[in-house]
Amino acid sequence: MHSIYSALARLGLDQQISVTTTHSLTVLATSFPPSAGSFRRDLLPYITPLINFLNKTDSPFLINAYPFFAYKADPKRVSLNYVLFQPNAGVVDATTGLRYSNMLLAQVDAVVAAIGAVSGAKAVEVQVSETGWPSAGDQDEVGATPENARQYIVNLMKMVAEGKGTPMRPASPLQVFVFALFNENMKPGPASERHYGLFKPDGTPAYDLGVEVPVINSTDKDGGSDDDFSPPSFGSITAGSYLTFSSAKQN
C-alpha cells in the first residue's frame, strides 16, 4: 500500500485516488454496544499501522457489514425491522445515550469506536464497502427472501440519499457500496451466497426495486446520442445519489 501510494503521489494522483483495503466485521472483538467497539488483539499488530497509514493519507477504512448474518444467527432476539431499516423502537447505547434505528449504523459506529481506541485517529472516515441481503437461501437461513432483500436495499438507498451520517458522526454522510450487482450462481457455500445480486445471471431482476431503467440506444430515431440519457430514478432520488462505483475521492 505504501508503494502504491508513493507511485500515485509521484504522478500527482494521491489526492484523487484512495489507497485502502476492505475488512470483514470479524476484525472486531466487540461490536456492542457501538461505543465499546474494539479490534481483536491478535490483529492489532496489523490494524494499527494500517490505521496510521489511512490517517496520514486521508483514506477511508472500508468495512463489509451484513446485518443479515446477525439476524440469521438469532432471529428470535434480533428484530427484523431493526435490520431492514423499518420503523422500530431502536437500540440505545447506554454509555453514549445515542439511539440507533438500524443495525448497519450500529455496526459502522462500532468500527469508528474501535479505530479511536487504537490510535485516537478519530478523523479516519469509515465507509461500507459491502452490504446487501440475499433474496434466497437454505431452509435454515431465516429471512433470506425476495421481499426482505427488496426492503433492505430500498430502505438503504433512501437512508444514504438523505446524506446523513451515523449517530457518532452525524455530520459525515455515510458512503455505502451495495453487494452485489449479479447473483453468483456458481459460488460455493450456503445458498444465500449465490443470491445477493440485484439481477440474476441472465440479466433479469432478482426482485422488484421499483427503479425504472429506460432502454438505451447509441442513437435514437431523432439522431440523438447517449449524451441525452438521464439516469434511472427512484421516486425523487437519482441513481447517482445512492449508488457509487468510483474509487476517487470526493472534492
Q: Catalytic one among 184, 200, 221, 249?
A: 184
Residue 5 lies in a domain: no
Q: What is the model's pLDDT at position 95?
A: 98
Does residue 134 fall inside a structural domain?
yes
| Mean pLDDT of the region 80-105 | 98
First to last CA, the chain: 22
| Among 56, 76, 122, 130, the one annotated catalytic | 130
155 found inside a domain: yes
List strand residue ranges (DSSP E) for the chain, in order. 22-24, 28-30, 38-39, 61-64, 91-92, 99-100, 126-131, 176-178, 233-234, 237-238
Catalytic residue check, 193: yes
Please tell me whether residue 177 adopts helix, strand or coil conformation.
strand
Alpha carbon distances (Å) from 37 to 26, 42, 78, 146, 151: 12, 15, 19, 32, 27
- pLDDT score at 211: 67
Residue 239 resides in a domain: no
Residue 222 inside a domain? The answer is: no
In this prediction the pTM is 0.84
Q: Nearest to residue 109, comparing CAs of 117, 57, 163?
A: 117
Least confident of 117-121, 176-180, 201-205: 117-121
The CATH number of residue 132's host domain is 3.20.20.80
The residue annotated as part of the active site, out of 193, 200, 212, 221, is 193
Q: How far is 181 from 178, CA to CA, in rounded Å? A: 8
- In the chain, the number of structural domains is 1
Helices 103-119 and 44-57: crossing angle in degrees, nearest 10, is: 90
What is the mean pLDDT of the segment spanning 49-71?
96
Tell me the three state secondary structure of residue 53: helix
The active-site residue out of 72, 141, 162, 187 is 187
**Catalytic (active site) residue 130:** yes
Q: Can you name the residues that pair with 243 across neighbouring β-strands?
A: none
Q: How many CA atoms lie within 13 A of 186 on its CB side?
A: 1
Percent of the chain with pLDDT over 90: 80
108 or 211, greater pLDDT? 108
97-115 average pLDDT score: 98
Dihedral (Cα; 54, 60, 62, 63), 10-degree rounding: 100
pLDDT at 121: 61
Q: How confident is the model at residue 120 (pLDDT cuts 50, 70, 90)?
A: confident
In this structure, the number of other CB atoms found within 10 A of the CB of residue 106 comes to 26
The stretches of the chain forming alpha helices (DSSP H) are 2-10, 44-57, 67-73, 80-83, 103-119, 146-161, 239-242
212 has pLDDT over 70: no
Average pLDDT value over all residues in the chain: 87
| In a domain? residue 249 | no
Q: Is the pLDDT of residue 235 over 70?
A: no
Interval 192-197 mean pLDDT: 98
- Whether the bond between 33 and the residue before it is cis, its omega within 30 degrees of 0, is yes
Catalytic residue flag (residue 187): yes
Identify the pLDDT of residue 122: 65
Q: Give Cα 197 distance to the centre of its chain.
A: 14
Residue-range definition of the domain harbouring residue 91: 20-208
For residue 187, being part of any structural domain is answered with yes
**Structure confidence at residue 119 (pLDDT):** 76
The answer to whether residue 198 sits within a structural domain is yes
Q: What is the pLDDT of residue 232?
A: 44
